[in-house]
Structure 1
Amino acid sequence: MKVKEGLLIGELSRQVGIPVGTIRYYERLGLLSPPLRTQSQYRVYSQAAQERLRFIQKAKRFGLSLDEIKKLIDLSASGVPPCASLKVMVKQHLNDLDRWIQEMVALRQELASRYEQIDALLPDSSTALTKVSYDSKICGLIERDNS
Structure 2
Amino acid sequence: MVKVIKEEFAVIGKEGSTSDGDGFIQKLWDDANGHFSEVAHLAKRDSNGGIVGIWGAMSDISRSFKPWEDRFSKGLYLAGVECVDHAEAPDGWTKWTIPGYEYIVVENHSGAFEETLGQMKEEGISLVGAVHDYTDPATGKGYLYFPIREV
TM-score, normalised to structure 2, is: 0.22
Higher helix share: 1
TM-score, normalised to structure 1, is: 0.22
Pick the structure with greater CA Rg.
Answer: 1
Higher strand share: 2
The structure showing larger relative contact order (alpha-carbon pairs under 8 Å, at least 6 residues apart) is: 2
